[in-house]
Chains A and B, each alone.
Chain A
Amino acid sequence: MGTRQRIVVAGGSLAGHSAVTELVGLVPEAEIVWVTGEPHKTYSKPALSKEFMQARNELAELTLPDVAGDRPRGLRILRGRSCVSLDASGRAVTLDDGERIDFDQLLVATGAAARMPGMLRGVDGVFPLRTLDDAVAIRARLADRPKVAVVGGGLIGCELAASVRAFGLDVTIVERLDTLLDRPFGGALGSYFLDLHRANGVELVMGAMVERVALEEGRVAGVHLADGTEIAAGLVLVGAGSEPCTQWLDGSGLQVGDGVLCDAHLATSSPGIFAAGDVARWTNPIYGLRMRVEHWTNASAQGRAAARNMVALATGRQDLRKAFADVPYFWSDQYGQKIQMVGWHEGHDRVELDRSGDVPGPLARFYRNGRLIAAAGVNAPRVVMRLRRQIEDEARAAEAA
């Protein structure tokens, strides 16, 4: 590359922050253009449904440190601007204000957005939770002490319910399935979660579908279920899952399928273009499977790994090139309980539930063909982290065999 290399990073959350930090350190001579999407500095999303929702911390305490301290010379931060299209073969992105930026390399770190069922969209008093702006809006409504309905008993829904209960408000969770947190924990801790929420005073309406919202003077007054029941609520919080932000890549030629498709090195189908974080569906060598992991630690580690592989490709520095082989990890906080999950439970053929009392809470181990692939536990970080290492060791042994 004769002239100064230009790298564009799209996405201003953790994956982007972690990649830019690494790039600034590794290639200070490069020009880095960081297009952040949201107008805010990078902030902690996990806190939004937990500490921040419970008013236990404020915006300043959510904001991550600036990249590399003060402003590195080659870094241009375009805050509050978004990429609207990509020309993969022409090596350029176009921004929402029409500016076209040529690049040598691109990192797609545009994350995911909340899924909002059509009938819940645009109704006063109905909110998803994905961004700081969502959280601020919800907090403002909590001040009126409304009755709250939570649509969806997944991670966001359950954490919101727990946080709202901390204010002593009435909360009802409406969930399509018969268990809470089915997908994240592979169904294994279902009855534990039902008991936990009931014991903390949450009304649970299980196996129920929301059909439409009830309105009063243009504002939400509750939700109607498919069986005709009405649940009164002045505030409706929606945790209906998320979707990767890839619309802007339509027509770019980049291979996309529920996320940007990447190889084990986080490289996409187009040379020099990489992806990281919630938007990336990469081949994880630990499992030999393509997966999209939507967790905080993954976004941090992948942002860094993608940046290193990008620099390896551009400069030939082979010492930086490494496949991203990782056992996923996430935690959740509900009513002061620390719930942790490691690994990937999809495709498991056996679950072992341990309530022996040797561990502080229930512990589940997931196996496939006799190999440990995932584990979930409550208030047992050391055991869970030990199992994380075991999963990795068994994967490497299986590969070597």
Chain B
Amino acid sequence: MKIIVDRQRCDGNGVCMGIAPEVFDVDDDLYLHVAETIPEDPELRARVRQSITSCPILALKLVEE
């Protein structure tokens, strides 16, 4: 599972972090850090997918399942 962030768009609102904090972390400069590797846990992966569709400015893309 690999995620790409569109840096032009992401404004650090933290919606993704609210849904899957294990994977997404917005720092105090409003910069989003994404975990390098995402554990196989299906429940977590479902939430990561949900974070991607819930990003209110569509800044996240899943490039590999």
Find chain A residues with CB under 8 A from B57 CB.
Answer: 44, 47, 51, 57, 61
Binary per-residue interface labels of chain B (4-33) against chain A in the complex, 1 for a CB within 8 Å, 0 otherwise: 000001011111011101000111101000
Q: How many residues of A contact B (CB 8 A)?
A: 36
Binds B, one of A264-272, A366-374, A375-383: A375-383
Asked if B15 and A382 make an inter-chain contact with CB atoms under 8 angstroms apart, the answer reads no
Quick one: which of A57, A360, A381 contacts B26, CB cutoff 8 A? A381
Asked if A382 and B21 make an inter-chain contact with CB atoms under 8 angstroms apart, the answer reads no
Find chain A residues with CB under 8 A from B53 CB.
Answer: 17-18, 21, 64-65, 300
Find chain B residues with CB under 8 A from A14 CB.
Answer: 54
Quick one: which of B28, B30, B58 contacts A44, CB cutoff 8 A? B58
Interface residues of B in 30-65 (CB under 8 A from A): 30, 46, 50, 53-54, 56-58
Find chain A residues with CB under 8 A from B30 CB.
Answer: 338, 379, 381
Q: How far is the CB of A64 from chain B (nearest CB, A)?
A: 6
Find chain A residues with CB under 8 A from B54 CB.
Answer: 14, 18, 296-297, 300
Binary per-residue interface labels of chain A (362-401) against chain B in the complex, 1 for a CB within 8 Å, 0 otherwise: 0000000000000000011111110011000000000000
Find chain B residues with CB under 8 A from A85 CB.
Answer: none
Chain A minimum-CB-distance residue to B16: A297
Is residue A324 contacting chain B, with contact meaning CB distance below 8 A?
Answer: no
Binary per-residue interface labels of chain A (130-149) against chain B in the complex, 1 for a CB within 8 Å, 0 otherwise: 00000000000000000000
Chain B minimum-CB-distance residue to A331: B13
Asked if B13 and A382 make an inter-chain contact with CB atoms under 8 angstroms apart, the answer reads no
A331 to B12, CA, bound (A): 10
Asked if B15 and A296 make an inter-chain contact with CB atoms under 8 angstroms apart, the answer reads yes
Is residue A103 contacting chain B, with contact meaning CB distance below 8 A?
Answer: no
Find chain A residues with CB under 8 A from B56 CB.
Answer: 44-47, 296
Interface residues of A in 311-343 (CB under 8 A from B): 329, 331, 333, 338, 340
Chain B minimum-CB-distance residue to A300: B54
Is residue A92 contacting chain B, with contact meaning CB distance below 8 A?
Answer: no
B contacts, CB < 8 Å to A: 9, 11-15, 17-19, 21, 25-28, 30, 46, 50, 53-54, 56-58
A contacts, CB < 8 Å to B: 14, 17-18, 21, 25, 44-47, 51, 57, 61-65, 296-297, 300-301, 304, 329, 331, 333, 338, 340, 360, 379-385, 388-389
